[in-house]
Amino acid sequence: MSHFHAVVWMDHAEAHVLQFTEDAAERTLVHAHGKHRQIHHRKGAVGSGKAPEDIAYFHAVIESLKGAQEILVVGPASAKQEFKKHLDTHHKDVAAKVVAVENADHPTDGELLNHARKFFLAADRMRLQK
């Protein structure tokens, strides 16, 4: 089932994807394929000090967003920006549907859904005022 709005909370280990309407929601949990490792960059060491992107993970998240027309991406760390950058480079059609990228700690799925509903309600009102 696909809905018009979706919210993705993600970190490097998992993504909670909620597609929803005013009174219904569908939840998908996507796990990263590899273990996320924190890489520490030592002075004088060669390399970026960053773990490579988990492309399979990003593609699984993209697959879970099929049918959504407006997407809010949230999360506590850099995974959300890496995901958006991947979309901008490799999936421009999905990137165009991302309306915002926000910081968020670790909400429950209920808290995430409430936040997303309020966000899109406000965004829809702003569009109507134009």
Q: Report in angstroms the alpha-carbon separations of 127 from 61, 85, 120.
A: 27, 25, 10
* N-term to C-term CA, the chain: 31
Q: Considering the chain, what percentage of its residues have pLDDT values greater than 90?
A: 72
- Bridge-based pairing of strands 98-103 and 25-31 is unpaired
Residue 104 lies in a domain: yes
Residue 72 lies in a domain: yes
Looking at residue 53, the DSSP 8-state letter turns out to be P
Counted domains in the chain: 1
Q: Report in angstroms the alpha-carbon separations of 54 from 23, 46, 49.
A: 33, 21, 15
How does the average pLDDT of the chain come out, rounded?
A: 87
Q: Which two tokens stand for residue 123?
A: 């965004």
* Residue 16, domain extent: 5-37+52-129
| Confidence check: pLDDT of 22 > 50 | yes
CATH for 108: 3.30.420.60
Predicted TM-score (pTM) of this structure:
0.85
Residue 46 lies in a domain: no
Residue 124 lies in a domain: yes
Interaxial angle between packed helices 79-90 and 55-64, expressed in degrees from 0 to 180 and rounded to the nearest 10 = 80
Q: From the CB of residue 59, how many other CB atoms can be counted at a distance below 10 Å?
A: 15
Residue 32 lies in a domain: yes
| C-alpha to C-alpha distance for 22 and 3, rounded to whole angstroms | 10
Residue 47 lies in a domain: no
Residue 97 lies in a domain: yes
Residue 43 lies in a domain: no
Left, alpha or beta for 44 (phi > 0: left; psi -120 to 50: alpha)? left
In the prediction, which pLDDT does 44 show? 54
